[in-house]
Structure 1
Amino acid sequence: MAIRNPRLPLLPGYGSNPLIGKKSFGVRPIFTSIDKVNMLVDKAEGVNRIPSLYCRKQTPDLPTWIMYDKNILRFQAFFQQTLHEMRSGAHILRKVEIFFFLEDGTIKVIEPKTDNSGLSQGTLISRQRIRLPFSSDLYYDLLDLNIGREVTFYGKVFKIINCDHFTRGFLNRLGINVSDPIPWPDAIERTPDTKRPPKHRPFRQFLDFDRQVLRFHGYWDDRETEFGTIHHLELHYFLADDTMEIKEVLPPNSGMEAGPMFLKRMRLPRKIPPHIEMTGGPKHTSYGPADLSIGAVVNVYGRKVVLTDCDPFTKEFYRVTYGFDTFKPLPVPKDEGTECITTTLAERKLPPWNGYGSYEDSAENCRTVEPKAPHRDFIKFLHKDRVGFDSHILRFAGRLINDNPDDKRRYFIIKYFLCDDTIGIFELGERNSGFKGGKFFRRGKMYLPNVDFFVPKEPPAYTDNDMWIGNELVINNHCFRLIAADEYALRYMELHSNEYPMANIALIMDKIRRTLASQENGYKNFVAKYMEAVSPEKSELMSVRCFKQALKEIMCEKMTEHEFFTLIRHFRGDSGKDKSPRREMIRSLVFTDLTRGLWDDRARLREGLAHADTSGLGALRPERVRQMLRAHRLPINRDLLDCMLDVLEKDDNCNIVCEDLMSFLDFQTRPVFNLTEADYQKVVRHAPPVKDTECKLWAEAETLIKEGFVNWNAFLCQLNLEHLVKEQTN
């Protein structure tokens, strides 16, 4: 403060401003360099007591706020708070957690919240740098926090007793010795005072047992009185204040008027004196947890209540507290006077279905006056609806079975939707056949044949267990035979073989094993007869046609067509057969779509494949090839694209050879293979329509079943019947 000149009068305009000409205000800014980063600090260099965590010239290049980001030291401590308003206790101990942030040296103190503590808990000291007591320029650092030390934060003394594993390991790496944990003050053993009994503290009991209730089931037999009966009761014992309440449990439609409580919440005395004075008297002992158990009789003001059972929490409480292990419930006696009274409701019978709407809709309108939508199985819809590429739709190829020769050439796709057990049927139209194709039967529930529809209960419908190759479905007086299935349906049924026995390889092999074991010399003759049918080039392979014939001879009609498919897919060996006809058929379909779409950009596609092949191996992953073809706008649908990628040449790592792809799309120098009339009909029949993008490129089941070979040795090894040959020989 500037001193006023006494010669000048104390009037406005005669005083001088002491701040005129001053250039420095407040604390002088001090700049320093920490880890090659210039920053402003609040104290001069050399005053800070924090030592370097590394040796000289070994400091990391990164700054501390990057090196120690989210690295926090955690200590457990307590402090003592004095109580001036309570006579019973002079102070209480409060447990806290101290967090030290390594990135900037800040400290945060938190007290964990405790139910019914009566204290304002949570963050006691927010995150900040805390000065040392009696110091204006020194702050708490890493060396001031350790187990056994006392720190003072804003007048409160905290005693550190423990730390976590990360803190102990971090301090040990710095060469700082960390002591063993110190027990909490309330955990220290003290010698009990034997001069006087311990004082009952109801508040401590309330804090320890609040919201903990023992529940018993029992009954009161009142059949000795007129119109008496057996009352089913439920006893609640509150551990917080040793009170209990009793409620009466009445069955529905019992005809009895239910009271609010059998016994309101109170302390129930064990013995009732003969005369109770209204003005008061000596207190009598009340029931406690030790007096309650299964089989105990509680005297509720002259009413004998027998306890018969208890809930799981009560059993665990008595097991831990009193060491009880047996909790066998007691039977409740039956009231002979009320045995003839039945309270069961009669089953509601709905009127027969009138043919309008669906069964669910009609039944829901009969149950309620207000029309409501039928409830669907939401849990099944949630799990079986389309999830990504998993459509949960089983697609099968079918043929019509009737005496009309024109219907035998028609080709159908039968879809089974697992989310709601509905079936949709579509027809693949053939050119110049007289049938348009498209939707044949709309999606809905397909019921079994020869059932009565106009009944109260819904008749049985086809399920997913009825969908297997070789089965015949009669839908609306049309008989369909399932002749093939797409790859997704076959794969889905094999992955969930526990639900579909036709795709369970273990059940199929067990069926073959039991059939061969029941025949005399069955396995020996079976192996000897078809030993010569094995391929001479590869001794472990057998043709699919011969394998199917061998199984039909021993199984007869015991094996379905779908089970043959499952066996052939499981024991599939090297096909050993040229697939050029199928490749040329697919190439013809691709050529048709490319010609229709006026696509001719092979040069740009070759350039794109070369750019994508960064390793220079001449092969790309199928996903990358599909992405490149889509990027160059090939006018073919996704199903035909998958079939094309399947027939292309691949290397040892299952990558598609780029040169073979370009040769496959070269229709100028390598024209389309001249197909026969039969092959052309197959191409036209199995080609997906232009407007129907959901249809797959189907192939005949018989054509697929005749291709390739089966690993005969693997089949015999899994059959595991060599012991029969030894027994039959001996």
Structure 2
Amino acid sequence: MIAVQIMRQFLQESGQGLDCRILRFNARRVSDQDDSKEFEFEYVISCYMADNTISVYKSSGQNSGCGSGMIIGKRKLLKPNQSMRTINTYPEYYTYEDLYVGAQVEMDRFKFKIIGCDEYTLKFMENFPHRFPKANIGLILDKLRLRLQDNYKIFVSQYMKQARLDPVPYAEFSSAIHKVLGEDIKEQEVLHLGRRFQKVDPQFEINQEELRSLVQTNLRRKLFFEFSKLEENYHKYDVDKSGMVKKKEFMYVLKGARLPLSRDLVCALEQSFAPHEESIVNYTEFIKFLNYKKYPAPECPPMNTMMYMQGNTRRSDLTRSKLSNIQVDVAEFIKALGMEEQFIRENS
């Protein structure tokens, strides 16, 4: 029975197209005693959704003089104080549910604190909120509503400036949320709140022409030309022949097409054409955007795709160095809480 469950999980989580379903987290070593330089380095914890195996890679710092490499190979990892020799009970292993920003984990006697994760991991969590409650905005807002019932006015007043709610830096927003919920909220949850209510600065919007040029250049170099087949696949979901599909269908076909594009570029296309869960996408325009034969864009010079994405992504991954650049739209956040009418009614 267990073997059947493992095989079912592998088939469900092994991914489709470019979606390899590997969640990656940044971590640091922690210790109550040792303060050696070894604890200054960052580590990458990778969780493979297909079978809940985990690997840990040490990342060498810039000009550190220390090498990088795998310190824990890809395998299932027992939680602390678990033994394979336990009779009548199965030992507990780490799974994706144990990994989130703010968590402390002990793997093969290495103690880590998770301090960040990549854009793919954040987006994957947001796309499956029923499996990742720490990315479920509805549940997080419910926590806040429950705690703010007695001090909602005080909470809102700290954001008021000349009778209006201006955007605030992420650090200030995070501090306010932690003051309300304390230990009942994890940094992973605050990250997703920040992403959901991020105030987008126009200068950080993805440049459509640059993106189009970059995508077409990659498709041309990889000799991809199946644009008609891609359009046919979208037709299957366009019952009324409107040229429009929902985001879920748009992404399903896009990932299934196995376009020769990096994961970062696929994320950029998603952010450009389907930034919200309720987005409706004009797939005809999207295919024109890709088609370098009929609608060619100027060929772009060679560039580092990851660096391009870091400079132009519409929704930053909100980890460490990027936090200082994020502004949270407090007005939208307060509106989503939906407590204003209740507050007025109870105090009238």
**TM-score of the pair, normalised by structure 2:** 0.67
Asked whether the 8 Å contact 1:533–1:542 carries over to 2, the reply is no
1:677-696 alignment, distance < 5 Å: none
Kindly state the Cα deviation for residue 419 of structure 1 after the two structures are TM-superposed. Answer: 1.5
1:509-658 alignment, distance < 5 Å: 509-517=141-149, 519=150, 522-532=151-161, 541-575=167-201, 620=212, 622-628=214-220, 642=265
The residue type paired with residue 399 of structure 1 is: R
The residue type paired with residue 377 of structure 1 is: I
Q: Secondary structure at the match of 2:184?
A: coil
What is aligned with 1:378? 7
Kindly state the Cα deviation for residue 565 of structure 1 after the two structures are TM-superposed. Answer: 0.9
Kindly state the Cα deviation for residue 430 of structure 1 after the two structures are TM-superposed. Answer: 3.1
Is 1:701 the equivalent of 2:319? yes
Describe the superposition over 1:493-533 as per-residue Cα deviations: whole angstroms up to 9, x where unpaired. Answer: 1111111110111100000000001x2xx111111121129
2-structure distance, mates of 1:642, 1:390: 12
Describe the superposition over 1:419-465 as per-residue Cα deviations: whole angstroms up to 9, x where unpaired. Answer: 21111111222355353212110111111112344322331111221
Greater relative contact order (CA < 8 Å, ≥ 6 in sequence): 2
Q: Secondary structure at the match of 2:161?
A: coil
The residue type paired with residue 191 of structure 2 is: F
Q: Secondary structure at the match of 2:183?
A: coil
1-structure distance, mates of 2:19, 2:44: 19
Q: Cα distance 1:458–1:515, how it changes in 2: closer, same or farther (>3 A)?
A: same
The residue type paired with residue 39 of structure 2 is: K
What is aligned with 1:404? 35
Kindly state the Cα deviation for residue 641 of structure 1 after the two structures are TM-superposed. Answer: 7.4
Is 1:713 the equivalent of 2:305? no
The residue type paired with residue 47 of structure 2 is: Y
What is aligned with 2:112? 480
Is 1:726 the equivalent of 2:344? yes
1:237-248 alignment, distance < 5 Å: none
Asked whether the 8 Å contact 1:577–1:707 carries over to 2, the reply is no
Structure 2 residues not aligned, in runs of 5+: 224-260, 270-284, 291-295, 311-315
2-structure distance, mates of 1:492, 1:384: 12
Describe the superposition over 1:211-255 as per-residue Cα deviations: whole angstroms up to 9, x where unpaired. Answer: xxxxxxxxxxxxxxxxxxxxxxxxxxxxxxxxxxxxxxxxxxxxx
Q: Secondary structure at the match of 2:143?
A: helix
What is aligned with 2:85? 454
Kindly state the Cα deviation for residue 470 of structure 1 after the two structures are TM-superposed. Answer: 0.9
Asked whether the 8 Å contact 2:216–2:297 carries over to 1, the reply is no
Q: Cα distance 1:528–1:702, how it changes in 2: closer, same or farther (>3 A)?
A: same
Describe the superposition over 1:331-382 as per-residue Cα deviations: whole angstroms up to 9, x where unpaired. Answer: xxxxxxxxxxxxxxxxxxxxxxxxxxxxx9xxxxxxxxxxxxx777211111
Describe the superposition over 1:108-134 as per-residue Cα deviations: whole angstroms up to 9, x where unpaired. Answer: xxxxxxxxxxxxxxxxxxxxxxxxxxx
Describe the superposition over 1:300-328 as per-residue Cα deviations: whole angstroms up to 9, x where unpaired. Answer: xxxxxxxxxxxxxxxxxxxxxxxxxxxxx
2-structure distance, mates of 1:705, 1:717: 23
Kindly state the Cα deviation for residue 408 of structure 1 after the two structures are TM-superposed. Answer: 2.7
2-structure distance, mates of 1:577, 1:472: 36
Identical-residue share of aligned pairs (%): 23
2-structure distance, mates of 1:728, 1:699: 39
What is aligned with 2:140? 508
2-structure distance, mates of 1:715, 1:531: 13
2-structure distance, mates of 1:453, 1:564: 37
What is aligned with 1:420? 51
Structure number with the higher helix fraction is: 2
Is 1:490 the equivalent of 2:122? yes
**TM-score of the pair, normalised by structure 1:** 0.34
Kindly state the Cα deviation for residue 469 of structure 1 after the two structures are TM-superposed. Answer: 1.1
2-structure distance, mates of 1:381, 1:576: 41
The residue type paired with residue 484 of structure 1 is: G
2-structure distance, mates of 1:642, 1:622: 9
What is aligned with 1:99? none
The residue type paired with residue 396 of structure 1 is: F
Asked whether the 8 Å contact 1:446–1:461 carries over to 2, the reply is yes
Q: Secondary structure at the match of 2:35?
A: coil
Asked whether the 8 Å contact 1:618–1:659 carries over to 2, the reply is no
The residue type paired with residue 107 of structure 2 is: I
1:210-225 alignment, distance < 5 Å: none
2-structure distance, mates of 1:567, 1:415: 24
2-structure distance, mates of 1:487, 1:627: 23
2-structure distance, mates of 1:533, 1:472: 42
2-structure distance, mates of 1:497, 1:709: 24
Asked whether the 8 Å contact 1:577–1:708 carries over to 2, the reply is no
Structure 1 residues not aligned, in runs of 5+: 1-359, 361-373, 580-616, 632-637, 647-652, 666-682, 687-697
Is 1:387 the equivalent of 2:5? no
What is aligned with 2:242? none
Kindly state the Cα deviation for residue 727 of structure 1 after the two structures are TM-superposed. Answer: 4.2
Q: Secondary structure at the match of 1:569?
A: helix
2-structure distance, mates of 1:573, 1:499: 27
Which of 442, 459, 462 is equivalent to 2:73?
442
1-structure distance, mates of 2:172, 2:297: 37
When Rg is computed on C-alpha atoms for both structures, the one with the higher figure is 1
Q: Secondary structure at the match of 1:706?
A: helix
Q: Cα distance 1:553–1:626, how it changes in 2: closer, same or farther (>3 A)?
A: same
- The total of aligned residue pairs comes to 275
